[in-house]
Amino acid sequence: MFSLVILGLCLVNAFSQNVGQLSLVFQWKSLDFEWPGHRVKHEFIKNGSFVPENNIASRIKVYNGSVYVTVPRLKKGVASTLNVIIEKHGKAILRPFPSWSMQTIGDCSAIQYSHSMEIDPLTGWMWIIDTGIGLIADPTETICPPKLIIYHINHRRIVRTHVFPDHVASRSSLLNDIVLQRVDGKAVLAYISDSRQAHIVTYDFRSDKSFRFADSSMLAESPPSSVVHIGNKSYPQTAPVNGIAMAPDFRYVYYSALAGTSLYRIPTTVLSNPKGLFKRSVRKVGVKKSQSDGMTFGTKCMYYGGLSSNGVYQWDFMKDQNMAAGPDDITLTSQVLIAHDDQRMKWVDTLAFDNEGSLWFIANNAGSFLVETMNISRTNMFVWKLYLGENDYLGI
């Protein structure tokens, strides 16, 4: 059974009868795709290009009623790394996005390994980070350099492809999560976590240039902060900076290591400047209630998955900002667990808002997936929707 607590302090409409409504939208024992034909699926299985137990839904975004998910190539046999969920014959399956041809391993113009993406609701542009790694499990199979693909969903065309220079994101990088910043009303800056090299990468659309920052705040922490406990199992983590979140006023980017509980922030005025004084400007905001993978901002609150708590936390950002001595002195204080299920919310991976006030999130038990073989006789992945009456940080 799930338990749910809603404080209502952040909510746009705290008295709505729908606020706090939690729905299980999709669930899978294993993922399947919309194949061009039965013979194609059979051939993919035969040659090892599709191994069902090696496919895990990770990042999620919602745009115009469509739900997009990534399936990172963490193990062999991932047929398509970026997809949109469709329903066929009463079953939720994945349609490769934007096409099957864009999923071809070895074609450096295609998407090799997408861990995450972001969608600008004003333009319909999907900013896709492609780490370029064919397989994390076998680094010798690194195929293409990391890149950023900006794809116009509505016009079905690539707007731009930026191949990162090696000194910004090398072939040993793992581009993990992405947020966007608006300048004069337009999303022109992207900030990306590199969860292997412990960097934050900046991309400026206006100049088509990229650069990176490194700091000790991006590194993995020591135990016990780096050990995720789920039930009676412990999962020691070593991953550095992972989840990042953009404040709704676009003044700060918040970030945290997967292997750690400390939350930091850096001004976007620094992060957007290749000569920005990062070390002088970074600030520890506080300590999260649990280690987290993804995190995101609404218009008033920040949300993150509690890996050791099997649920989702809400940080009442506006409340703590109002209690601060000044606008730049906020401290992470008002945290509450707003959704929890010990069985169906193991490892809340990522979170995203739709345009109707609901927070979507994926729970996929990734800690177990990375060290064990997925048991596809039981349900392993869950997509939840929680109505909060709040918009995305990029929302209109």
Q: Which secondary structure element, helix H or strand E, spans residue 186, and what is its range?
A: strand 186-194
Q: Which secondary structure element, helix H or strand E, spans residue 368, and what is its range?
A: helix 366-369
Name the phi and psi angles at 368, rounded to 5.
-75, -40
Cβ atoms of 96 and 105 within 8 Å: the answer is no
Q: Which secondary structure element, helix H or strand E, spans residue 243, and what is its range?
A: strand 241-246
Average pLDDT over residues 278-294: 97
**Of 300, 311, 292, 293, whose CA–CA distance to 357 is shortest?**
300
Helices marked H in 226-281: 268-271, 278-281
pTM, two decimal places:
0.94
Query: Is residue 350 over pLDDT 80?
Result: yes
Least confident of 122-126, 201-205, 370-374, 378-382: 370-374
What's the number of domains the chain is made of? 1
* Residue 135: pLDDT band with limits 50, 70, 90: low
**What token pair was written down for 327?**
């606008």
> Does the residue 393 lie in any domain?
no
**What token pair was written down for 174?**
């793992």
> Does the residue 250 lie in any domain?
yes
Average pLDDT over residues 300-306: 96
> Does the residue 282 lie in any domain?
yes
Average pLDDT over residues 357-371: 95
> Does the residue 201 lie in any domain?
yes
> Does the residue 395 lie in any domain?
no
**What token pair was written down for 53?**
């137990």
Query: Is residue 207 over pLDDT 60?
Result: yes
**What token pair was written down for 347?**
């490892």
Domain harbouring 379, CATH code: 2.120.10.30
Q: Above pLDDT 90, what percent of the chain?
A: 86
> Does the residue 193 lie in any domain?
yes
Question: Which amino acid, residue 174?
Answer: L
Cβ atoms of 257 and 219 within 8 Å: the answer is yes
Strand ordering across the sheet containing 91-96:
60-63, 66-70, 82-88, 91-96
> Does the residue 238 lie in any domain?
yes
CA torsion sign, 55 to 56 to 58 to 61? positive
> For residue 172, what pLDDT is reported?
87
pLDDT of 147-193, one tens digit each? Answer: 999 999 999 999 999 999 999 999 889 999 999 999 999 999 999 99
Average pLDDT over residues 104-130: 95
> For residue 333, what pLDDT is reported?
93
> For residue 313, what pLDDT is reported?
97
CA 284 to chain centre: 21
> Does the residue 66 lie in any domain?
yes
Average pLDDT over residues 7-36: 76
Least confident of 211-220, 265-274, 322-331, 368-377: 322-331
| Strand bridging mode 227-230 / 241-246 | unpaired
> For residue 142, what pLDDT is reported?
61
Q: State the residue range of the domain holding 52.
A: 3-387
